[in-house]
Amino acid sequence: MTIFIQALDFNLWDIIIDSPELPQTITKEGVKSHKPRSLYTDEDRKKVQLNTNAKHVIICALNSNEFNRVSSCATAKEMWDRLEVTYEGTNQVKDANGK
């Protein structure tokens, strides 16, 4: 799966491993929250689109049970981490390094 994702777009793999910086706003009190879509910059849209593309690639490889496990995840990294924990120690999910 790792090689497949990297072959599609290496940036997708970076998003899965490093987690995207989804657009946020910070209040005067220092509280972070999701930025409203109406306030997105072009750069914000690129980050969100890359995360969405990575999530799409992962979802397309899943059966319905696996989909149900990860469908509530906000980022591709969360999805990947949840799948990795679920299948840790099995031969079903491995990356190029044998994890």
Higher pLDDT, 84 or 97: 84
Structure tokens at 70: 């990860």
Domain positions in the chain are 1-18+44-89
Distance CA 40, CA 46 (A): 10
pLDDT bucket at 91, cuts 50 / 70 / 90:
low
* pLDDT tens per residue, range 27-77: 889 898 889 999 999 999 998 999 999 999 999 999 999 999 999 999 999
pTM: 0.77
Half-sphere exposure of 13 (CA within 13 A, CB side): 12
H helix count then E strand count, the chain = 5, 2
DSSP state of 40: -
- pLDDT, mean of residues 16-21: 87
Distance CA 89, CA 86 (A): 9
Give me the pLDDT at residue 90, please: 57
